């Protein structure tokens, strides 16, 4: 075997030295400088090479003179004597090379350190923070809501760990999150599946962890399972339980996550909920605004409160004990929650009330039940006989079968459904069926005015426009907006009595076509983001939200105000609440239909109004209630 030459070995040693980083190179440069100075000082001392007018120079003095010329080339300008000048010139030239190399290395090391900081690999030292693992468009709504929720905390932090470039994440957050208030956003680039990266962002010290998977169907639930395993089965995990929140798409994932961390993961499976809300919002325009108001941290929220003053009171009477809060349910000692319980339910000492209020400290029994008296009772007419309806679905997405099932549950027998999808989804609608529904399916260009004009919208009660998969969020929303504008124009021009509900992915796009009394939106990603944010802050709210959005039990309804009070009669919300309680309902708020097109007035919707304030309703106004049906 051929032996390495001296030159090759020297080059190898040099490469090894350079690979050790800037500090090793600086040490070698210091050694080279020391050798140069020592040799120069030795020559001067040994051979008596002195400047003019100097009779003697010790080794230490020669060492010092050489060192100064190594560091500062201008020092030799005052030298005299050609021998001394020649030695100092050599020292100075060597010093120039060494110092130049030193400056270059320090500069390169500084640039390298900045690059490492840009990559976001330094350890997070915060505690009691919210940790977000992953990256998706939902993150901007989540950060905005958490920032609002953190306003009453000291030094709040949100930490984000994702494989996306740190600078890119920071730029997007800065441009798409309008206000973070006191909350500091810390971004790190890394893999949420790596234990070292989880340690880097302090996962054991986080008060809650949100898993945000990529938007691709094949990776969505798989990413959640892997990250949950990386956290819960980590050998260095904390002994206390985690508070992890994730939204899944497939029911089978729920079983897996239950095995991984039964009491540590709050799982949201919202496909069925979104399908149900789509149907309900079509029937009750404005419902999406109510749901969003209840889920947001801005304004009135849902709180638990233990109040001894309501102990022993019937639920209907307890409702009237609060001026600035609306009592919607009860949490029992066992942890079970019940929205709109029987009005004669007697509150127990260990019960907590579930209230809609501005803050947790505003749930105060400061009401005046006497103000509920004096309302002239109105004859509540029975619910009108439900007649078969005609619904048109425009567009396809994976929830369409769930929506059809909800339509079958919600609308009476004999109702008709016409499904129209783009040509490339024709195979998805060949076997659609549901009990009680007469279903027809067709293909067509749903963004074409000519095609939409050929549909029989005159006899259509509800139009649902679904966001199609397989394209970018903005492209999907653009198609939905085009279809909506055409359909709405056809309906308005012909004065058809048709409600429209459209599914949007980006909440900013819903502002381009405002809600009206016959027009509403389901912004699916925003609702999911709001739910994730709320449950990450208080996991006890999950059963309340489940109950609120579940088809079983009480749901949110818009009821004609004339079922409770005569049109034009001045009344207060104590009286309205008492009237609703008398028929087993919880009055949450109302909608003034004259303002139903005004976004500055929340489209006429008022949740948790002051009960003492007098108001006169018109015949078309609605009361927002929790009711069985």
Same fold, 6-119 and 390-523: no
Residue ranges of alpha helices (H) inside 459-587 are: 473-494, 507-510, 524-537, 542-549, 573-581
**Alpha carbon 360 to its chain's center:** 23
Please give the pLDDT value at position 517: 56
321, 355 contact by CB (below 8 A): no
Model confidence band, residue 411 (pLDDT cutoffs 50, 70, 90): confident
Task: Give the integer Cα–Cα distance in Å for 532 and 538.
Answer: 10
- 3-state SS record for 365-403: CCCCHHHHCCCCCCCCCCCCCCCCCEEEEECCCCCHHHH
Per-residue model confidence (pLDDT) at position 1: 55
Whether the pLDDT of residue 112 is over 70: the answer is yes
Domain 130-269: give its CATH architecture: 3-Layer(aba) Sandwich (3.40)
**Under CATH, which number does the domain 6-119 receive?**
1.10.287
CA distances from 222 to 207, 219, 245, 535 (A): 24, 5, 15, 22
- 70 burial type by CB count under 10 A (0-12 exposed, 13-18 middle, 19+ buried): buried
Q: Does the domain spanning 390-523 belong to CATH 3.40.50.720?
A: yes
Which residues does 156 contact at the CB level (< 8 Å), separation at least 6?
129, 147, 150, 182, 183, 184
> What is the pLDDT at residue 77?
61
Instruction: Give every CB contact of residue 532 below 8 A, 6+ residues apart in sequence.
Output: 138, 142, 210, 245, 246, 247, 268
Least confident of 16-25, 137-146, 555-564: 16-25
Span of 80-89, 189-198, 533-542 with lowest mean pLDDT: 80-89
Residue-range domain boundaries for the chain: 6-119, 130-269, 390-523
Q: Which of 30-44, 163-177, 516-530 has the lowest mean pLDDT?
A: 516-530
The helix or strand, by DSSP H or E, that contains position 162, with its residue range, turns out to be strand 157-162
pLDDT band at residue 377 under the 50/70/90 scheme: low
> At residue 572, does pLDDT exceed 90?
yes
What residues pair up with 440 in beta bridges, in sequence order? 418
Nearest to 340 by CA among 563, 537, 552: 552
Mean pLDDT in residue range 601-628 = 93
Average pLDDT over every residue of 397-418: 87
Question: What is the C-alpha to C-alpha distance for residues 502 and 511, in angstroms, rounded to an integer?
Answer: 12
Residue length, the chain?
629
User: Measured between alpha carbons, how far is residue 132 from residues 34, 188, 209, 340, 462 in Å?
Assistant: 52, 10, 6, 34, 39
- Per cent of the chain over pLDDT 70 is 93
What are the structure tokens assigned to 248, written together?
Answer: 């899944």
- CB atoms under 10 Å from CB of 508, counted, come to 12
Q: Per the structure block, which two tokens stand in for 212? A: 């945000």
pLDDT at 513: 64
The model's pTM: 0.79
In Å, how far from its chain's centre is CA 154?
21
Which pair of tokens denotes residue 366? 């400061």
Q: Average pLDDT for residues 459-480, to the nearest whole number?
A: 88
Rounded Cα distance, 515 and 595, in Å = 11
What does the alpha-carbon distance between residue 582 and residue 613 come to, in Å, rounded to a whole number?
Answer: 21
The burial class, CB within 10 Å (0-12 / 13-18 / 19+), for 616 is exposed
State the DSSP H helix or E strand holding residue 142, giving kind and residue range, or none if neither. Answer: helix 138-149
The pLDDT mean for the chain works out to: 86
Number of H helices, E strands in the chain: 19, 22
Helix (H, G, I), strand (E, B) or coil at 161: strand
Q: Residue 13 class from Cβ within 10 Å (0-12 exposed, 13-18 middle, 19+ buried)?
A: exposed
- Structure tokens that stand for 174 in this block: 């800065």
Phi, psi for 391 (deg, rounded to 5)? -120, 140
Whether the CA torsion 457, 459, 465, 466 is positive or negative: it is: negative
């Amino acid at each position: 075997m051929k032996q390495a030459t001296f030159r090759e070995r020297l080059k190898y040693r040099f490469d090894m030295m350079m690979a050790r980083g800037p500090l090793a190179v600086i040490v070698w440069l210091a050694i080279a400088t020391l050798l140069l100075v020592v040799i120069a000082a030795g020559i001067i001392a040994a051979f008596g090479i002195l400047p003019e007018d100097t009779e003697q120079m010790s080794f230490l003095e020669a060492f010092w003179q050489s060192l100064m010329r190594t560091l500062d080339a201008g020092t030799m300008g005052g030298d005299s004597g050609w021998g001394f000048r020649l030695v100092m010139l050599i020292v100075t030239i060597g010093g120039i090379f060494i110092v130049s190399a030193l400056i270059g290395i320090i500069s390169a090391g500084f640039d390298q350190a900045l690059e490492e900081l840009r990559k976001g690999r330094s350890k997070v030292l915060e505690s009691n923070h919210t940790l977000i693992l992953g990256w998706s468009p939902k993150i901007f709504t989540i950060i905005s809501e958490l920032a609002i929720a953190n306003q009453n905390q000291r030094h709040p932090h949100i930490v984000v760990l994702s494989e996306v470039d740190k600078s890119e994440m920071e730029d997007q957050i800065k441009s798409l999150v309008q206000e973070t208030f006191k909350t500091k956003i810390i971004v790190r680039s890394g893999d949420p599946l790596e234990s070292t990266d989880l340690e880097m962002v302090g996962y054991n010290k986080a008060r809650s962890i949100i898993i945000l998977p990529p938007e691709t169907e094949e990776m969505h639930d798989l990413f959640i399972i892997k990250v949950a395993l990386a956290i819960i089965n980590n050998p260095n995990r904390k002994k206390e339980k985690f508070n992890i929140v994730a939204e899944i798409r497939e029911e089978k994932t729920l079983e897996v996550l239950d095995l991984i961390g039964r009491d540590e993961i709050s799982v949201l499976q919202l496909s069925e909920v979104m399908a149900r809300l789509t149907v309900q919002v079509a029937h009750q325009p404005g419902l999406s605004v109510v749901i969003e108001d209840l889920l947001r941290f801005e304004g009135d929220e849902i709180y638990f409160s233990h109040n001894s003053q309501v102990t022993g009171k019937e639920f209907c009477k307890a409702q009237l004990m609060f001026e600035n809060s609306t009592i919607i349910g009860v949490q029992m000692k066992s942890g079970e929650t019940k929205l709109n319980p029987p009005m004669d339910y007697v509150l127990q000492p260990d019960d907590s009330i579930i209230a809609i209020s501005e803050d947790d400290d505003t749930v105060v029994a400061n009401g005046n039940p006497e103000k509920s008296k004096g309302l002239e009772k109105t004859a509540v007419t029975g619910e009108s006989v439900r007649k078969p309806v005609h619904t048109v679905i425009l567009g396809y997405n994976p929830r369409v079968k769930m929506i059809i099932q909800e339509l079958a549950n919600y609308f009476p027998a004999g109702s008709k459904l016409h499904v129209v999808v783009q040509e490339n989804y024709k195979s998805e609608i060949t076997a659609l069926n549901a009990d009680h529904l007469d279903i027809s399916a067709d293909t067509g260009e749903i963004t074409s005015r000519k095609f939409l004009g050929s549909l029989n919208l005159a006899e259509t009660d509800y139009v649902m426009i679904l966001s199609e998969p397989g394209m970018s969020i903005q492209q999907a929303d653009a198609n939905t907006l085009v279809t909506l504008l055409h359909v709405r124009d056809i309906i308005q021009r012909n004065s058809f009595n048709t409600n429209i509900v459209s599914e949007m992915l980006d909440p900013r796009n819903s502002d381009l076509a405002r809600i009206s009394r016959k027009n509403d939106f389901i912004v699916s990603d925003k609702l999911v983001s709001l739910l994730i944010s709320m449950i990450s802050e208080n996991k006890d709210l999950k059963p309340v939200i489940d109950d609120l959005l579940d088809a079983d039990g009480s749901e949110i309804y818009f009821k004609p105000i004339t079922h409770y009070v005569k049109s034009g009669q001045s009344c207060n919300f104590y009286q309205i609440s008492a009237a609703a309680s008398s028929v087993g309902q919880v009055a949450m708020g109302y909608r003034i239909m004259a303002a139903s097109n005004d976004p500055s007035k929340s489209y006429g919707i008022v949740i948790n109004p002051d009960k003492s304030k007098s108001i006169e309703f018109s015949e078309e106004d609605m009361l927002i209630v929790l009711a069985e049906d």
